[in-house]
Amino acid sequence: MKTSLLRTESLVKRYGGILVTDGVSLDIRPGELHAIIGPNGAGKTTLINQLSGELLSNDGKVIFSDIDVTALPIHRRAQMGLLRSYQITSIFEEFTVQENAVLSAMGAKEHAFRFWQPMLQRKELVRAAHDALQATSLICRKNVPAKDLGYGERRQLELAMALAAQPKFLLLDEPMAGMSVQESDAVVSLLKRLKGRYSILLIEHDMDAVFALADRITVLVYGKVMFSGTPEEIRNHPEVRAVYLGEEEI
């Protein structure tokens, strides 16, 4: 049996008396694309924030690469390769697509940006940025200032920036939100290509995308794991169908 790359043990986040995540235990293996689904307010974004380090947990553990990262801040987790899209640097509007990707690659490697050294002369960073822009099909837009990108392209740039940071594990919170059908199809194709090369945790409301991509799916309801299983097991799980999927054809 493969050991897990990211594991949580009874993770809890509460606000006052409200338990938003309530003893969540997950086990995500290297190379797996794991989707979290659940109704609005189930605690999905809160859980991803607990994994990235944006939120510290009230109880439970986050174990990444066999290291207990529960108390580590966001940048330490990112340096270890546990990375949420858009977290390393936000987009600099006046910078080109390529410069944004290079900055992200730089941010992952270094504590402080070395602005006194022209960044496009840093070969290893330019290479990482180039690979990320190629993977996200943004390479032909590399010299365009970020402010001139369309909405879908900006979301692709966020993904490219995450990839340029050379993560081991990508946390993606609704990467297709607000995209046109064509744009979200492009992201599904991209995630299919990335599958296996990275471990990915995906929160997504688009069930077609989830069932096309996921190796395993966890259903979260009222902050608790209702069930984890393969897409086939989720499809055939009577309780999941009743509570969450309803009669939706999946």
Site for ligand ATP in 41-100 (CB under 6 A): 41-46
- Report the residue number, 48 or 165, with the smaller CB distance to ligand ATP: 48
Q: Please state the closest distance from residue 203 (CB atom) to ligand ATP, in A.
A: 7
Do 124 and 93 touch, CB atoms closer than 8 A?
no
Please identify, using beta-carbon distances, which residue of 38 and 231 lies nearer to ligand ATP.
38
- For 143-198, list the strands marked E by DSSP: 169-173
Phi (first) and psi of residue 7, to 5 degrees: -135, 140
Which amino acid is present at 227?
F
Least CB distance to ligand ATP at residue 107 (A)? 26
CA distance 107 to 163: 12
Cβ burial, residue 65 (10 Å; 0-12/13-18/19+): middle
Q: How far is the CB of 17 from ligand ATP (least distance, A)?
A: 11
The interface with ligand ATP within residues 176-205 (CB under 6 A) comprises none
CB of 219 to ligand ATP, least distance (A): 11
Does 167 help bind ligand ATP (rule: CB under 6 A)?
A: no
Q: What is the 3-state secondary structure (H, E, C) of 25-92?
A: EEEECCCCEEEEECCCCCCHHHHHHHHHCCCCCCEEEEEECCEECCCCCHHHHHHCCEEECCCCCCCC
Number of residues that bind ligand ATP (CB under 6 A): 10
Among 2, 15, 17, 246, binds ligand ATP (CB under 6 A): 15
Interaction pattern, residues 16-35, with ligand ATP; x per rule: CB under 6 A? ----x---------------
Contact residue for ligand ATP among 38, 53, 60, 231 (CB under 6 A) = 38
Enumerate binding residues for ligand ATP (CB under 6 A): 15, 20, 38, 40-46
